[in-house]
Amino acid sequence: MTTAELTTASPAALAAELESALDPRTREILERRRASGVVRRRGWLVRRMLAAADVLGLTLAFFFALWFFNGDSATALTDRIDPRLEALFFLLTLPAWVVMAKLYGLYERDEERTDHSTADDFGGVFHMITVGAWGVFVIGTLTPFADPQLDKIIGFWFLAIAFVCTFRASARAYCRRQVTYLQNTVIVGAGDVGQLIAKKYLQHPEYGINLVGFVDAEPKTRRDDLGHLTLLGAPPELPSLIKLFDVERVVIAFSREAHDETLDLIRRLKDLDVQVDVVPRLFEVLGPGVELHTVEGVPLVGLAPPRLSRSSYVLKRAMDLVLTVPGIIVLAPLLAIIAVAVKLDSRGPVIYQHERVGRRGNLINVKKFRTMRLEACRGEAYGGEAAESEFRALMADPDLRAQFAASYKLQRDPRVTRVGRILRKTSLDELPQLFNVLAGELSLVGPRPLVREELTEFYGDQAERILTVPPGVTGYWQVNGRSGLAYEDRVRLDIAYIAGWSLRLDLAILARTVRVMLSRSGAC
């Protein structure tokens, strides 16, 4: 049925025709929601689960501290009050902790942001518990009713942060398995940008976005990789489509509608209880550090220069050392086990070093556990001409050549050993790069280490900016798609990372890296 036919069809015929065009998964979700008879959405579920996680985490931290410190509360009350009264007092303060978390915005962001995770919560949780615990300590010290002990406060503070973050991660994992977590989503605009957004949503099922389809009066031809997505109608029909398909999120992505008509559509959506996301103009140059400021009420997007100041670089280097030295010590047994496994699996050295371009254009040798047969490893110190010959034979296959050109990797590389496949899938082959970080050649977080050919071919006039910071073991694009990203997206994200750098961003990327490694999505 064409857009014109949809416009003139009766409501019943429209509903039947559109619903028949939906993919089976969307129809199943709609049927399950209609059968339940109760309209409950992601926010309803996540807020309650996160509040329960906070209460459980704080309570366990309190009683562990109470037990470990021989009956003295880590929140402020000590010998002067019976431990049972201390426990009662703490339980009575739990609603205040929940209210504080609400004030910190720790319950709302999952509904608003598709990619929100516990890693993003860490700063808020850390600050909330620090303020709460130490606030009680100060109040207790200044009043005659209690004599708080420092070691008990520290014990509660540390345990509360650990438990709350752990239970929040578990709560989100539970929520993501529920049909209530899924958000039926419509994209307004079926042009290049709208279809790009759709592709990215389909690559990330963990976002809980169930794409229903597009709304556009003048759509472009649908990309082959968008599977089931269909055209639902024109923008004026969007309000009725939202009610028909229980839509919770609408993405405005550059339709050809006039500016005034788009503004009017967005205003109408505000009365329909839906989350509205607007893809900004010039989104290609916006990064994680983008900020809004105003001129007489007109919002402006601020873009910082894409470089790190000297003080920022010193702070970044300090963080690398603080985390890397204990990291190597803790991981030493695992490094030894992997080294033995690599050695027993195939002949050759345990470590493979490959030349990359580092900060300021200096050449560095990046270390990895060897994952290929020795004779297939490229480089004079390894397979030499035999490895180059095998590589050329692989590149004779057009499909493999295209795959390598897109990501400089092969999904099913026949040169990889049995142990190597496991190491690549889990990204454990990159652990020796910690020694590159120790030497100052790499940072824990930064742009991907590039070979000279990549830098010349893909980065062009952006190459100079990339070389202002050391490459990273992990990076912004690695936690936003890994090998599934198009190369132009990687370049854009690398530049955006440099422009938006902050210590908090690095910590968030490190936390997300752990999650990505555990999910093993996008690894080769």
Q: Tell me the average pLDDT across 99-126.
A: 88
Write the CB contacts of 148 (distance below 8 Å, at least 6 apart in sequence): 76, 77, 78, 136, 137, 140, 141
470: left (phi over 0), alpha (psi -120 to 50) or beta: beta
Span between the terminal Cα atoms of the chain, in Å: 42
Host H or E run for residue 249:
strand 249-252
- Extents of the domains making up the chain: 42-175, 182-279, 310-371+416-519
* Model confidence at 7: pLDDT above 80: no
Tokens of residue 483, six digits:
């090998």
d(CA 483, CA 477): 9
**Residues of 275-311 as b/e, b for ≥16 C-beta within 10 angstroms?**
bebebeeeeeebbbbbeeeeeeeeeeeebeebebeee
Convert the pLDDT of each residue in 95-105 to its tens digit: 999 999 999 99
- pLDDT for the residue numbered 498: 83
From the list 477, 476, 478, 456, the residue with the least C-alpha distance to 467 is: 456
90 or 165, which is more confident? 165
d(CA 217, CA 188): 10
- pLDDT for the residue numbered 55: 95
Tokens of residue 151, six digits:
């070691």
In this structure, are strands 351-357 and 363-369 parallel, antiparallel, or unpaired?
Answer: antiparallel
* Model confidence at 522: pLDDT above 60: no
d(CA 55, CA 65): 15
Q: Tell me the average pLDDT across 138-160.
A: 76
Write the CB contacts of 343 (distance below 8 Å, at least 6 apart in sequence): 350
d(CA 416, CA 407): 17
d(CA 8, CA 19): 17
Convert the pLDDT of each residue in 17-62 to its tens digit: 555 556 666 666 666 666 655 567 888 899 999 999 999 999 999 8
Identity at 286, one-letter amino acid code: L
Task: Kindly report the length of the chain.
Answer: 524
Identity at 193, one-letter amino acid code: V
Q: How far from 32 is each of 35, 176, 236, 334, 472, CA to CA, in Å?
A: 5, 16, 28, 46, 45
* Model confidence at 483: pLDDT above 60: no
Percent of the chain at pLDDT exceeding 90: 26
391 or 10, which is more confident? 391
With bands split at pLDDT 50, 70 and 90, how would you rate the model's confidence at 174? Answer: very high
Q: Tell me the average pLDDT across 394-400.
A: 84
Q: Which fold has domain 182-279?
A: Rossmann fold (3.40.50)
Does the reported pTM lie above 0.75? Answer: no
Cα radius of gyration (the chain): 27
- DSSP code at position 45: H
Q: Tell me the average pLDDT across 109-129.
A: 86
**Residue 355 and residue 363 in contact, taking contact as beta carbons nearer than 8 Å:** yes
Host H or E run for residue 313:
helix 310-345
**Residue 252 and residue 267 in contact, taking contact as beta carbons nearer than 8 Å:** no
Supply the angle between the helices 384-395 and 398-407 in degrees, to the nearest 10. 110
Write the CB contacts of 180 (distance below 8 Å, at least 6 apart in sequence): 40, 41, 42, 44, 45
With bands split at pLDDT 50, 70 and 90, how would you rate the model's confidence at 210? Answer: confident
